[in-house]
Amino acid sequence: MIPASFDYHRPKSTPEALAILGQYGDDARVVAGGHSLIPMMKLRMAQPSHLVDLRSIPELKGIRIDGTTIVIGAMTTQAELLGSAQLTAAVPILHEAALQIADPQVRYMGTLGGNVANGDPGNDMPAVMQCLDASYRVTGKTGSRSIKARAFYKSAYVTALNSGEIVTAIEIPVPPGKHGYSYDKLKRKIGDYATAAAAVMMTVSGGKVQTCAIALTNLGPTPIYCAQASAAIVGSGLDTAAITAAAGAAGALMAPSPDGRGTVQFRTSVGGVMIGRALQRAYQRATA
Amino acid sequence: MNDQTPPTREMREAKLEGMGCKRKRVEDVRFTQGKGNYVDDMKLPGMLFGDLVRSPYGHARVKSIDTSKAMKVPGVLAVLTAKELAGVNLAWMPTLAGDVQMVLADGKVLFQGQEVAFVVATDRYAAADGVEAVEVEYEELPVCVDPFKSMLPNAPELREDLKGKMTGAHGPRKHHNHIFEWTVGDKTATDTAFNTAEVSIKELISYQRVHPSPLETCQCLASFDKVRGELTVYGTFQAPHVIRTVASLISTIPEHKIHVIAPDIGGGFGNKVGAYPGYICAIVASIVTGKPVKWVEDRMENLSSTSFARDYHMTCEIAATKAGKITGLRVHVLADHGAFDACADPSKWPAGFFNIVTGSYDIPTAHISVDGVYTNKAPGGVAYRCSFRVTEAAYCIERGMDILAQKLGMDPAELRLKNFIKREQFPYHSALGWEYDSGDYHTAMNKAMDAIGYKQLRAEQLAKREAFKRGETRDLMGIGVCFFTEIVGAGPSKNCDILGLAMFDSCEIRIHPTGSGIVRVGSKSQGQGHETTWAQIVATEIGIPADNLTVEEGNTDTAPYGLGTYGSRSTPVAGAAIAMAARKIKAKAQMIAAHMLEVHEGDLEWDIDGFRVKGLPEKSKSMKELVWAAYNKPPPGMEPGMEAVSYYDPPNMTYPFGAYFCVMDIDVDTGEYKVRKFYALDDCGTRINPMIIEGQVHGGLTEAFAIAMGQELKYDDRGNLHGGSFMDFFLPTAVETPHWTTDHTVTPSPHHPIGAKGVGESPNVGGVPAFSNAVNDAFNFMGGTHIQMPHDHWRNWEAAHSRGMHG
Ligand SMILES: Cc1cc2nc3c(=O)[nH]c(=O)nc-3n(C[C@H](O)[C@H](O)[C@H](O)COP(=O)(O)OP(=O)(O)OC[C@H]3O[C@@H](n4cnc5c(N)ncnc54)[C@H](O)[C@@H]3O)c2cc1C
């Protein structure tokens, strides 16, 4: 459990970081909180020769609301997300989801940028970001671009991020003031990744669902945005038939791998249960 | 009141902090301040580090090992392989179970994670890089990980070294992967009981492969002094003296030139009883390099290589009358020992004390047979917080009782009450050969049932089941009942030895002139609090305050020879030696007192902290005065000084017992569960320190919870270990861990000097069946007789699914 040796860099600005990445190419890797990368390095499943630590770059930190967009610096830790009253008021699902990531020790170190850039299907924030229709602000040698969370994940650990690019911020459209939300996660214990988890955002008017977004964690090689399942809910009063239809549509997209958490059949089944629970809680909150 | 007021008896008693006192743990002063001294804290001048190359395959031939690249890694000084070890006759080592085990792969590997080469370097980082650089060429062989397939005619032959040997350490072998068959009991009478039974049950009850998880993994620091020809080994040893003797037997170093020192140990739970390849490698490396060599395993190495526990597959049969009186018990066990039989049991007991499987019940006849087999899995078979195979036995009978109750349509608590050994039957001779020392099962069970409100719980459960059937809830309620009897305190020399060493234990007490002293014991605490409790025993016995007594264990040069701490044996065996040594001190003090008070010894009586003349309480001598006299002016003809040694060979085992109840709610849609209530009543005889007992019970219950509800070391068909890290291996945090309610009754052991029985392992032994019975009890009204552990979300969901509960 000792990583291979590596050189350590701590740039003070994004351009400086990009320059180091450019110099070493695929031998370099950025490190944020290190709570996904360092364990991989200890197992020698990752052996970067150069680690580029982003923690001393001030512009990658902070949370601000920019008109209709919330901008969260990539190096903002999960603990800082939890500590922001402004963010919790505007996007309570972020608070609910962050609280279900690991334990306080991990949340003090782990960053939002690392969580979404990592590409591990077990990470919780990617599905939440898909549910919120967030975008990732990405900067590379050739400039900056924005990638939709719903288009970012290609397969396990493979993302739309190009070599040498850094996620600098996460941009979330401010949700309507009155909305329902829920992040429901089944896990074996504190510190475990999801057996199955569902994120739901919803607006309701006159008892009928107006908008709905559903996304799933750890039920396939990437987070799963369930457009069809969401559509099955819109217009309903969230009756059993609508929930069953949504769970069915989402189920067709699930492709979890069997592991210590259980079989494919079990994980798919509880994926449906998580969707049902998240929908009901979101509906209650939207109508409370 | 002035300073001259003599202290009251209560004050004198309280000052001792003797037996029965909730004395705070003295060792915690250093542990809670980070001032413990563990192996990895030790640094010796010039110290090197060793690290192991391990097999990625479950079964493979080792074609070649190329160490040349590793030797070029900066800092790497040496790489040991079986070839080098063979030069000192240590490529293989004897196991505690009469088998032999490869220290480093000799020609082939037999399990994933097996030790293949040992890299020695100037620091642990260089050693880790060296491990990566060792090139091993393997040729994969067919793998056998399923014990049920290990004895098929075409099963791959795992142990080529045993080719043609049809007799092992424990008798004949039936197959090339068979290790032993062990049988106990009256087969004919048992078969008859089953042939004439009104009712009988038969169930395969498996206890999955698990592993203890001490905070500190196994590690050692070996230092060979070439000039003096002496070897010092600091290590995480639960039995340091045994390690010294084994080291001497397998090396050419005489025992007096080997110093084995176990410093503070961060938990053992059986994991630190055995001798592991890492230890041998560190020792050989120190001899080869002339430098101290440290070896520390990491967590994944710990889970995957140093001694698993359980992997017992028990076919349990119980015969009974329609009225629920048990008439016979028959059990066959398929015991998976992995690649080498490195089971940590007393030498003559290949299946440990599994014959305690008749449990707390008056069963007229029984027969058991155990087949041990080799598979491509890590070796071991330690007693993970239990006496030898006792937790397997307790699980078998306690699940069996529930299954029988279900078949009879009888309440499981009532079935137990009906079959308990009665108080007046003790000492009780069990059908499988044990003599139970004492017990009062009915009193304990009734107390427990009243305490948790058993009748009301059953009524609530009935209502819940009806509600479930009506579709009003998706939760099931389970009530787990367990009444266990343990057998601990190995053990009497007539039936217990390790490699020929009788399983006694020992104590040496030296009281210094001013009335304080040192107590040295052959046991070795790994967190049990011996430094606290041993002093309490002496305090009560000789009237010297516990605070004035130092307890020392673990240094084989200074501690008297002992067999170590495991199997809840410390209090039954070492605790008895302590009391006996203290009584020798007391006897000498009595002679001195008689001389000083000018009376006959028989005219004296003991009074808390000294002797007084019967009928003349003002004529007295305190222990402090008597000790001083022993050094200052002993009676004529008496040797000065105040020392005693006792080696205690127990006349019998002790038999702690307990009644545990678990109330659990299970969500059939996700398999999530909530332990609503857990009540544990323990009877461990005389209670030395109630607070430490409670702590032991809390810890053991937490481990039992982990085992029953999640822990499993699972191998796939290719011999890959899954669940070998804390990512998957279930180690509950404070969030998952239920609240524990503890209680007790006191039935002293009649043969133990202070009546104490041992408690450290009871909660693990009794806890596992209580949890498992709760889960089974939740589901059984919908059909089925047994759900295998671990009862994690997935398996609970499966149980619901297979019973048609998902629509
Ligand atoms: C015990 C434990 C339990 C955990 N449980 C959970 C859980 O339940 N749910 C969950 O979601 N996570 C969990 N995690 C992971 C944790 O949240 C990580 O912190 C997170 O996944 C990664 O964030 P990080 O800042 O630590 O990233 P790092 O580990 O530093 O990096 C992760 C990866 O992302 C890349 N990266 C990081 N930042 C950027 C960036 N700005 N731009 C481009 N690439 C970047 C790195 O190069 C690396 O490949 C757990 C971790 C541990 C140790």
Q: What is the pLDDT of residues B584-605, one digit of tens each?
A: 999 999 999 999 999 999 999 9
Which of A2, A189, A195 is nearest residue B128 as measured by Cβ atoms? A2
Average pLDDT over residues A236-260: 96
Rounded-to-integer distance, Cα B691 and Cα B288, Å:
48
Structural tokens at position B734: 């404070």
Count of residues making up chain B:
807
Judged by average pLDDT, the poorest of A85-94, B216-225, B247-256, B351-360 is B247-256
Cα B137 to Cα B86, B131, B281, B301, B378, distances in angstroms: 20, 14, 21, 21, 21
Rounded-to-integer distance, Cα B212 and Cα B385, Å:
8
Which residue among A6, A20, A31, A158 has the greatest number of ligand 1 atoms within 8 angstroms of its CB, and so is best to mutate? A31
Q: What is the CATH number of the domain that holds A195?
A: 3.30.390.50
A1 domain-assigned: no
CB contact set of B431 (below 8 Å; sequence gap of 6+): B185, B186, B329, B358, B363, B364, B365, B366
Mean pLDDT over the full length of chain A: 97
Same-domain status, A47 and A63: no
* Helix/strand/coil percentages in chain A, nearest 5: 40, 25, 35
Q: Are residues A186 and B670, on separate chains, in Cβ contact within 8 Å?
A: yes
CB A113 within 8 A of CB A37: no
The reply to whether B310 belongs to the active site is no
Same-domain status, A33 and A77: no
The bridge status of strand B380-382 relative to strand B308-320 is: parallel
Structural tokens at position B563: 């067999």
Structural tokens at position A272: 């449906």
Cα A124 to Cα A121, A195, A248, B397, distances in angstroms: 8, 11, 22, 44
Rounded-to-integer distance, Cα B532 and Cα B586, Å:
21
Among A15, A35, A53, the domain-final residue is A53
Q: What is the DSSP letter of B257?
A: G
Q: Are residues A1 and B299, on separate chains, in Cβ contact within 8 Å?
A: yes
Same-domain status, A198 and A258: yes
Can you say whether the dihedral through the CA atoms of B374, B380, B384, B386 is positive or negative?
positive
What part of A 153-212 touches B (C-beta under 8 Å)? 186, 188-192, 195
Rounded-to-integer distance, Cα B82 and Cα B86, Å:
6
Q: What percent of chain A stands above pLDDT 70?
A: 100
A2 domain-assigned: no
pLDDT at B2 over 70: no
pLDDT at B137 over 80: yes
Q: Which atom of ligand 1 is nearest to the CA of A32?
A: 30
Same-domain status, A186 and A230: yes
Q: Are residues A186 and B672, on separate chains, in Cβ contact within 8 Å?
A: yes
DSSP bridge pairs for B789: none
A38: domain range?
Answer: 7-53
Structural tokens at position B571: 């209090």
The reply to whether B385 belongs to the active site is yes
Q: Is B499 left (phi over 0), alpha (psi -120 to 50) or beta?
A: left
Q: Does residue A101 line the site of ligand 1, with CB under 6 A? A: yes
Query: Which class for A283: exposed (0-12), middle (13-18), buried (19 or more C-beta within 10 A)?
Result: buried
Up-side HSE of residue B466: CA atoms within 13 Å toward CB?
6
Among A121, A146, A173, the domain-final residue is A173
Q: What is the CATH number of the domain that holds A68?
A: 3.30.465.10
Count of residues making up chain A:
288
Rounded-to-integer distance, Cα B300 and Cα B213, Å:
11
A130 domain-assigned: yes
- DSSP per-residue codes, A32-59: SS-TTHHHHHHTTS---SEEEE-TT-GG
Cα B338 to Cα A94, B132, B346, B459, distances in angstroms: 47, 26, 19, 46
Q: Which domains does chain B have, with CATH numbers?
A: 7-36+505-648 (3.30.365.10), 39-141+217-265+272-305 (3.90.1170.50), 308-490+653-802 (3.30.365.10)
Q: What percent of chain B stands above pLDDT 70?
A: 100
Place of tokens 């004035």: B548
The answer to pTM > 0.95 is yes
Query: Which class for B427: exposed (0-12), middle (13-18), buried (19 or more C-beta within 10 A)?
Result: middle
Same-domain status, A190 and A278: yes
Structural tokens at position B80: 């040991």
Angle at B704 between CA B701 and CA B708, to 5 degrees: 140
Mean pLDDT over the full length of chain B: 96
CA-nearest of B159, B93, B110 to B378 is B110
Tens of pLDDT, residue by residue over B504-544, are 999 999 999 999 999 999 999 999 999 999 999 999 999 99
A162 domain-assigned: yes
Rounded-to-integer distance, Cα B601 and Cα B580, Å:
19
Helix (H) or strand (E) holding B799: helix B793-802
pLDDT at A160 over 80: yes
pLDDT confidence tier of residue B3, bands split at 50, 70 and 90 = low
Neighbours of B266 (CB within 10 A): 18
Same-domain status, A71 and A116: yes
Same-domain status, A198 and A269: yes
pLDDT at B1 over 50: no
- Looking at chain A, the number of H-run helices and the number of E-run strands are 12, 14
pLDDT at B748 over 80: yes
Nearest Cα residue to atom 37 of ligand 1: A114
Q: Are residues B793 and A195, on separate chains, in Cβ contact within 8 Å?
A: yes
Q: Which atom of ligand 1 is nearest to the CA of A37?
A: 29
CB A164 within 8 A of CB A259: no
3-state secondary structure B202-243: EEEEEEEEECCCCCCCCEEEEEEECCCCEEEEEECCCCHHHH
CB A67 within 8 A of CB A165: no
Average pLDDT over residues B359-372: 98
The bridge status of strand B517-521 relative to strand B549-553 is: parallel
pLDDT confidence tier of residue A277, bands split at 50, 70 and 90 = very high
Tens of pLDDT, residue by residue over A195-239, are 999 999 999 999 999 999 999 999 999 999 999 999 999 999 999
Same-domain status, A223 and A265: yes
Rounded to a whole number, what is the distance in Å from the CA of B158 to chain A's nearest CA? 28
Tens of pLDDT, residue by residue over A12-61, are 999 999 999 999 999 999 999 999 999 999 999 999 999 999 999 999 99
Rounded-to-integer distance, Cα A75 and Cα A276, Å:
33
Neighbours of B437 (CB within 10 A): 26
CB contact set of B197 (below 8 Å; sequence gap of 6+): B319, B320, B321, B327, B328
Omega before B755 within 30 of 0, i.e. cis: no
Helix extents (H) in chain A: 14-24, 37-42, 78-83, 85-90, 92-98, 104-109, 112-117, 125-131, 149-152, 227-233, 240-251, 264-287
Give the pLDDT score at B541.
Answer: 98
CB B505 within 8 A of CB B523: yes
A287 domain-assigned: no
Give the pLDDT score at B5.
Answer: 83
DSSP bridge pairs for B222: B233, B293
Q: What is the CATH number of the domain that holds A30?
A: 3.30.43.10
Q: Are residues A103 and B132, on separate chains, in Cβ contact within 8 Å?
A: no
Count of the separate structural domains present in chain A: 3
Structural tokens at position B680: 């544990």
Q: How far is the CA of A52 from the centre of ligand 1 (A)?
A: 15
A41 domain-assigned: yes
Same-domain status, A240 and A210: yes
CB B331 within 8 A of CB B201: no
pLDDT at B389 over 50: yes
Q: Active site residue: B25, B385, B687, B795, which one? A: B385
The complex's ipTM works out to 0.96
Among A37, A53, A69, the domain-final residue is A53
Cα B610 to Cα B541, B544, B553, B604, B679, distances in angstroms: 10, 9, 28, 10, 41
Structural tokens at position B210: 């698990």
Q: Which residues of A touch B299 (CB under 8 A)?
A: 1
Q: How many Cβ pairs within 8 Å bridge chains A and B?
A: 62
A288 domain-assigned: no
Structural tokens at position B247: 């080291």
The reply to whether B761 belongs to the active site is yes
Phi, psi (degrees; rounded to nearest 5) at B434 = -100, 155
Same-domain status, A99 and A149: yes
Cα B506 to Cα B559, B560, B645, distances in angstroms: 9, 6, 7
Query: Which class for B804: exposed (0-12), middle (13-18), buried (19 or more C-beta within 10 A)?
Result: exposed
Can you say whether the dihedral through the CA atoms of A264, A267, A269, A271 is positive or negative?
negative
Rounded-to-integer distance, Cα A181 and Cα A8, Å:
41
Q: Does residue A126 line the site of ligand 1, with CB under 6 A? A: no
Q: Active site residue: B17, B297, B703, B761, which one? A: B761
Same-domain status, A132 and A104: yes
Tens of pLDDT, residue by residue over A110-149, are 999 999 999 999 999 999 999 999 999 999 999 999 999 9
Q: Within an 8 Å CB–CB cutoff, is residue A279 touching chain B?
A: no
A96 domain-assigned: yes
Tens of pLDDT, residue by residue over B455-467, are 999 999 999 999 9
Same-domain status, A165 and A205: no
Helix (H) or strand (E) holding B190: helix B187-195
